[in-house]
Amino acid sequence: MNENAVKSDDNEQSTQLDVIHLINQMADPAKDVPGSAAGQWFDTGDIEAGRPEIGVAMLPGDMVEISTASGALRVQKDNPTWADPELMTTSHCYADSGGWFYLEMLADGMQMALATGDGVCPNSLPEDATIYYR
């Protein structure tokens, strides 16, 4: 094998690792912040048996993203419904593009109720909200 080919392979591998590292730095997954809405939420209180259903995260550029199996809502910082999910410890409704996600913290931040819909944010948590667990 010629020496230039080895150097090229090493450079390519190094570049791939640099790209992966950069992506991991930029894509901060839903970081669990105890007592707040930020983080991963599960379909059961038995986390080992459950699966993550909801992710609430702050993306680069101060964009809030709430991800579910059926889609995601992204709220830019200049949106009037924007609030930092790491500081959200009571209830809040995020809205954008005609849809909304209403979140309410329960049980000392270990449970969260979530309701979604179309139109404008409701004034309080709708009765059909689903409970998720940390």
Bridge partners of 13, per DSSP, are none
The pLDDT of 68-97, averaged and rounded, is 95
Confidence of residue 20 (pLDDT cuts 50, 70, 90): very low
**pLDDT over threshold 80, residue 15:** no
Domain parsing of the chain, residue ranges: 1-27, 31-133
Extended beta strands in 1-134, E state? 39-42, 52-59, 63-68, 71-75, 91-96, 99-106, 111-118, 130-133
**pLDDT over threshold 80, residue 24:** no
Residue 19: per-residue pLDDT: 44
Question: pLDDT digits over 34-79, tens only?
Answer: 999 999 999 888 777 778 899 999 999 999 999 998 889 999 999 9
Q: How far is CA 131 from CA 44, 53, 66, 109, in A?
A: 9, 11, 15, 12
